[in-house]
């Protein structure tokens, strides 16, 4: 499954125009970055996403493309990205985005940029349902208020049963083949739909529902602008987690063993380096980082959550494990602000790869590169690393409390 995000940020924002001084809501400030970028950062932290297509108003396309380039340079998403213009209707904007997708894309997560409070765990639930075979998936929350159906004269004509009602959110996940078929039907029958799954519904295919989040609100009315104001919270209390990991190098006799992995450090392949013996992909640096993140959360160590006895984790990408741990920060009321990483090895030389590793880790964590430090050292030919028998890594992670833990 190859999944891309489609971030719809092409709306006119007419209901907010007076309150926002004419600025479109997707470009408003949301804690130091535009609303659309905050949405992109959250979804980019969801493991299993390959790229993102931004959809902007045609008259602001050039300025928005430049803004994306600038933002990604300072805080990389770590994803392939494309920028296209929107259309007159939501479905027109989505269809424009589909034309920019690579051939290998099989599924899309379509998200309203104005839902900038989305968290990676909502997207992860949508992705999991798609992996299980669903053609279309929507996140939703139960409707709290009684809903009345009212006619043109303002008279109640029906009261739907509240228990069966759901308020639908984004990102909505759709199999690309089904979505293209839905567009073909919409053109033949001149259909207009208000959400992306509606195109699949029109084909008569089932749409699965997964748990959304009460916090995943959409900036729509002037009253919603207060949600973008900086929250007044007590002085943030820091938490520091420490991590350590070690991997042995494969001997000549072990070079072809099933668990002898090509060396990867911080998602960066290290050509010509010794192979490491490991159950997962053997990224010693990300394993140390994972333990440091778990230290901030007070949730034990990586072995408790991803044991090396689990056959499903054989060869698993360590970036996926880190992303799953990072997704627990927001619900715990924590924000990661800094990591410091050290590789200890006689071989290979890590220096030439340092900046590549740094940018990879920054993108994975959603941090600016200046908040990630990577360094390397030897042990002067002492110990097992000095004898070129293995490699080890240390990591510290610093997080601050953002307030009360969130229920989602």
* Residues of each annotated binding site for a divalent metal cation: 245, 247, 287
Contact between 402 and 233 under an 8 Å Cβ cutoff? The reply is yes
Q: In angstroms, rounded to a whole number, what is the distance separating the alpha carbons of residues 355 and 233?
A: 35
Tokens of 230: 């900086």
Place of tokens 């809903």: 147
> For residue 287, which of 298, 303, 299, 273 has the smallest C-alpha distance?
303
Cβ partners under 8 Å of residue 296, min gap 6? 239, 240, 241, 329, 334, 336, 397, 398, 399
For the annotated binding site, the residues are 245-247, 279-280, 287, 301-303, 306-310, 377-380, 384, 387
In the chain the first and final C-alpha atoms are separated, in Å, by: 26
Give, in degrees to the nearest 5, the angle at Cα 120 between 297 and 164: 115
The pairing of beta strand 3-8 with beta strand 107-112 = parallel
Q: In angstroms, rounded to a whole number, what is the distance separating the alpha carbons of residues 161 and 234?
A: 42
Find out whether the peptide bond into 279 is cis, omega within 30 degrees of 0. no
Q: In angstroms, rounded to a whole number, what is the distance separating the alpha carbons of residues 80 and 50?
A: 7
């Amino acid at each position: 499954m190859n999944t891309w995000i489609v971030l719809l940020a092409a709306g006119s924002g007419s209901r907010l125009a007076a309150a926002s001084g004419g600025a479109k809501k997707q470009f408003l400030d949301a804690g130091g970055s535009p609303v659309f970028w905050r949405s992109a950062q959250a979804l980019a932290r969801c493991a299993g996403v390959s790229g993102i297509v931004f959809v902007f108003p045609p008259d602001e396309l050039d300025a928005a493309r430049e803004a994306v380039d600038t933002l990604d340079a300072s805080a990389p998403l770590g994803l392939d990205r494309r920028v296209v213009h929107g259309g007159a209707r939501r479905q027109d904007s989505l269809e424009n985005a589909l034309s920019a997708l690579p051939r290998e894309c099989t599924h899309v997560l379509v998200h309203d940029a104005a839902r900038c409070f989305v968290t990676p765990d909502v997207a992860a639930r949508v992705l999991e349902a798609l992996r299980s075979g669903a053609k279309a998936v929507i996140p939703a929350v139960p409707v709290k208020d009684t809903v009345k159906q009212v006619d043109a004269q303002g008279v109640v004509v029906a009261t739907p049963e509240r228990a069966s009602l759901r308020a639908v959110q984004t990102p909505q996940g759709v199999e690309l083949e089904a979505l293209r078929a839905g567009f073909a039907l919409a053109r033949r029958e001149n259909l207009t739909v208000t959400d992306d799954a509606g195109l699949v519904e029109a084909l008569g295919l089932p749409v699965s529902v997964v748990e959304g989040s009460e916090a995943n609100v959409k900036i729509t009315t002037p009253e919603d602008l207060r949600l973008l104001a900086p929250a007044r919270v007590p002085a943030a209390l820091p938490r520091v987690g420490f991590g350590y990991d070690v991997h042995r190098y494969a001997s000549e006799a072990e070079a072809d063993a099933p668990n002898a992995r090509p060396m990867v450090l911080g998602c960066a392949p290290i050509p010509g380096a010794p192979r490491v013996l490991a159950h997962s992909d053997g990224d010693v640096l990300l394993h140390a980082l994972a333990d440091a993140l778990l230290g901030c959360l007070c949730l034990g160590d990586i072995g408790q959550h991803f044991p090396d006895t689990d056959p499903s984790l054989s060869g698993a990408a360590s970036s996926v494990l880190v992303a799953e741990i990072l997704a627990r920060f927001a619900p715990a009321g924590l924000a990661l602000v800094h990591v410091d990483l050290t590789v200890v090895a006689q071989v290979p030389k890590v220096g030439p790869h340092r900046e590549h590793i740094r940018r990879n880790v920054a993108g994975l964590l959603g941090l600016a590169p200046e908040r990630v430090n990577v360094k390397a050292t030897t042990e002067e030919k002492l110990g097992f690393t000095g004898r070129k028998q293995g490699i080890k890594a240390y990591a510290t992670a610093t997080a601050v409390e953002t307030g009360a833990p969130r229920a989602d």
